[in-house]
Structure 1
Amino acid sequence: MVRHPPAPMRLISSDKTASASTAFVVLAALCWGLSGGIGGILMANGWNAFVVSLYRGAIGLLFVLVWLALRPRGSGLANRRLWFWSAIAGLGVAGNFSFYFVSIAEGSVAVAATLMYCAPVFVYLVSFALKLERPTPLKWASIVMVMLGVVLLTGVYDIDGGRVTPIAVGAGLLSGLSYAVFIFGFKYAAPHGSPQAILVIAFAVLVAILIWPSDADQAVAMLSTPSWPLFLILGVLGAGLSFIFYIVGLKHTAPAVASIVAMVEPVTASLFGVVVLNERLAGPQIFGMGLILITVTALSVYSSARRARL
């Protein structure tokens, strides 16, 4: 007869597992936040945003290849749907990385990270268009609040102020839209194979795409430049360990909790920009940033709780 541990022991074990999983999600968000700051340093030193994105993705590809080699079972690599949706995810992550760094190069780490955090709003808009989600007054109100936050953060209302360039704003929002594409691609690929197989295909597509807009001379020069340790750290934190941490952490972390702790990324990136890169934010920008972070997090938590009830 199989003996099960007493209920209190099972609860303690479950709580420990959940806490460890949440810690992995926090670590992933922290790594992503730091990667924005490291990318900012590299571009301040003259490195092309697409070259920085290319090496971030290439190093991430090496990590997930090792992960797939260690866990090859159930990869689903023979499934055509896995390849199709993983390629879509690859387009999304390629756009996310490159537009994010373009936004940093044209503006600041804090603004770029916060604009990218608007991704759930794009997910809702796409879901509305595809009739995957039903629009409600609360959801529309949340979207309007986020748009107001974007206006305050970017200072577009101040024509003469010129706080943030249109390229920085557009690239920041496109990075969020691209991340939404990655989310949809990953979601539809997941039933057909393992996460590591999906990420291998996605990062391979990223590398293939970003080779074309990257500065060829800089891409070759990186291999012998004194800046290579920063590129290595960027790839390890920004794509290698972070994606593995996040996927492993999500297995036992409630979506609502994951939505809240994901705020670590834009907050870390913003603090890095202010403390290390000497970036400055005006009062309305700080208010707009807070409005975006709080609204998006509340919207994600509400959505997760609603799905749990259903």
Structure 2
Amino acid sequence: MKGIIYVILGAVSYGILSTFVKLAYGDGFIVNDVVGAQMLLGALLLWSAVLISRVWRRRAGAASANTYAKPTRKEVLLLTVVGSSTGLTGMFYYLALQYISASLAIVLLFQFTWMGVLVEALINRKLPGKGKLLSLIPLLLGTLSATNIFTTGLSKVHWLGFLFGFLAATSYTVFILLSGKIAVNANPMTKTALMISGGFVICAIILPPTFLTDFTLLVQLAAKYGLILAFFGPFFSTLMFAKGVPLTGPGLASILGAMELPTAVVLSAFVLQEHVGAPQYLGMILILLGIVIPQLMQRRAERSPSFGK
């Protein structure tokens, strides 16, 4: 039960980010500073947590010896490079929020679900399983419904917002495919700190934050939104997933992680007062079904007496 709670908390914390980003834009902050503050402060929080945990383990002695392997120099470099993809995800996602609603942006980000299936099939040169293929139907129909294409067409959706949303999904797909294959025995917190550090570097290069030359701006942004975004984004959500996924398993975690989608949509409707109509809610439900179907089919197959024979 603890694992389920951890994963849900991690997903919900991710889901609230778009609302705070929109509020930051409304207060006049620009995307360069918003994404830069989140990544920089997130990295600082993570490295602080890594340092504190090391000091605690040393004081506790052999009874709490570190069971994680220390990443090699090559793994450190790879984690930092792979981390650039999570930085690009945040950057593209927050750029999309400048042009489209938070409810639509999160729907576009969730296209990583079918993108991951496609890339996996190309890498393995093998068609996806029946469950994954079936999941593509509600995923695609849900996306079309959520973008309101059936009633208004794409003309009502800013093309830059649409493009940045899909780029965010693409970079997130790369992150998911690569992050789990590097330094698998290393401390998850240390891994994440390295990746978020890499993410900040790439974001600062592409979208240089103005607070690098104006410390007062950083303080103002951190006080209003930066610390909130850093805490619920890179720090808290990462910690919850790191604690929860080993307890629930990746399959159930994928289902529970979908809570990010309804969280973002509901908050955009009630906090930002964005119009979310029946087609958007229907699309959200279809996307959730597309995520749940293959996981339920797999769990059912694993429980079948003939599974593995």
- Rounded Cα–Cα distance in structure 2 between residues aligned with 1:305 and 1:178: 31
Tell me whether 1:77 sits opposite 2:66 in the alignment: no
Determine helix, strand or coil for the equivalent of 1:115. Answer: helix
The number of residues matched between the two structures is: 291
Cα drift, residue 77 of structure 1 = 3.0
The aligned residue for residue 200 of structure 1 is 193
- Rounded Cα–Cα distance in structure 2 between residues aligned with 1:115 and 1:276: 20
Letter of the 1:23 counterpart? I
State whether residues 25 and 262 of structure 1, in contact with CA within 8 Å, keep that contact through their aligned partners in structure 2.
yes
- Change in Cα spacing, 1:236 to 1:119, as seen in structure 2 (3 Å) is same
Q: What's the TM-score once normalised by structure 1's chain length?
A: 0.83
Which ranges of structure 2 fall in alignment gaps of 5 or more residues?
Answer: 55-65
The one of 264, 270, 284 equivalent to 2:265 is 270
Cα drift, residue 307 of structure 1 = 7.4
State whether residues 121 and 296 of structure 1, in contact with CA within 8 Å, keep that contact through their aligned partners in structure 2.
no
Cα drift, residue 282 of structure 1 = 2.7
Q: How does 1:18-97 map to 2 (within 5 A)?
A: 19-72=1-54, 73=66, 74-80=68-74, 82-97=75-90
The one of 96, 105, 109 equivalent to 1:116 is 109
The one of 160, 163, 168 equivalent to 1:170 is 163
The aligned residue for residue 62 of structure 2 is none
The aligned residue for residue 94 of structure 2 is 101
- Change in Cα spacing, 1:229 to 1:141, as seen in structure 2 (3 Å) is same
Determine helix, strand or coil for the equivalent of 2:273. Answer: coil
Which ranges of structure 1 fall in alignment gaps of 5 or more residues?
Answer: 1-18
Cα drift, residue 227 of structure 1 = 6.5
Per-residue CA distance 1:75-101 (angstroms, 9 max, x = gap): 523241x23541343122112111111
| Alignment RMSD | 2.6
Cα drift, residue 63 of structure 1 = 2.2
State whether residues 86 and 185 of structure 1, in contact with CA within 8 Å, keep that contact through their aligned partners in structure 2.
no
Tell me whether 1:217 sits opposite 2:214 in the alignment: no
- Rounded Cα–Cα distance in structure 2 between residues aligned with 1:127 and 1:304: 20
Q: What's the TM-score once normalised by structure 2's chain length?
A: 0.84
- Rounded Cα–Cα distance in structure 2 between residues aligned with 1:140 and 1:112: 24
The one of 258, 262, 272 equivalent to 2:253 is 258
The aligned residue for residue 236 of structure 1 is 231
Letter of the 2:174 counterpart? V
Structure 1 residue ranges (4+ consecutive) displaced by more than 4 angstroms after TM superposition: 157-161, 303-310
- Rounded Cα–Cα distance in structure 2 between residues aligned with 1:222 and 1:213: 19
Letter of the 2:71 counterpart? L
Cα drift, residue 31 of structure 1 = 1.0
Letter of the 2:274 counterpart? E
Per-residue CA distance 1:145-173 (angstroms, 9 max, x = gap): 32222222223455667332222222222
Q: How does 1:137-148 map to 2 (within 5 A)?
A: 137-148=130-141
State whether residues 13 and 237 of structure 2, in contact with CA within 8 Å, keep that contact through their aligned partners in structure 1.
yes
- Change in Cα spacing, 1:306 to 1:103, as seen in structure 2 (3 Å) is farther
